[in-house]
Amino acid sequence: MTSQEPSLPPPQLNDIDRLVHEPSRLMVLANLYVVDSADFTFLMNQTGLTWGNLSSHLTKLEEAGYVRVIKEFVDRKPHTMLSLTEAGRTAFQNYRQQMQHFIQALQSE
């Protein structure tokens, strides 16, 4: 990026993706962001969420198209892996940028 390019307008608080903003879902997204894919047990261990909580958050993220559910067979038993979709990755990156903007704006005042 060169300095001649017009800078984007600063994000508004209303633009924040509320689906990502919820702390538990944010943790789930962050954990899936740093790996290729993971299963339910791994996410429970890493986030400290209960089975019921994690299940409901994952359902919301899957409905929003942020999380992909991959059904596979391990030792002839069904096994489910979860990974972020492109939309999920973009949503998480956008959220981080927006939050960085807000924090900078708060610090500059």
Partner 1 sequence: MNASLDLKNLERKAWVSYHQDGLFDLYLGLLLFCIAITNSLLEVGLDSWLRYLIFFILLGGSWLLFWAGKRFITTPRLGQVKFSAARRKRKVQLAIIMSFFVLLNVLLLFLTIGARNNPDTWGRFMPQAELFGLFVGVYVGSAVALIAYFKDISRGYYMALVYAVTFAAVEIFENPALYWIGGALIFIPGVVLFVRFLQRHPLPPSEVTLDQPGA
Point out which residues bind partner 1 (CB under 8 A). Answer: 23-24, 26-27, 30-31, 33-49, 51, 55, 58, 69, 71, 74, 78-82
Kindly state the smallest distance separating residue 39's Cβ from partner 1, in Å. Answer: 5
Is 3 or 53 the residue whose CB approaches partner 1 more closely? 53
Nearer CB in complex with partner 1: 11/46: 46
Give least dist CB 96 to partner 1, A: 9
| N-term to C-term CA, the chain | 27
The Cβ of residue 25 has, within 10 Å, a number of other Cβ atoms equal to 24
Give the dihedral sign, CA 39/85/61/32.
positive
Which C-beta is closer to partner 1: that of 71 or that of 109? Answer: 71
Give the separation between CA 109 and CA 107, rounded to whole angstroms: 6
Task: Work out how close the CB of 20 gets to partner 1 at its nearest, in angstroms, rounded to a whole number.
Answer: 12
- For residue 70, the cross-strand partners are 81
Q: What is the CA radius of gyration of the chain?
A: 17
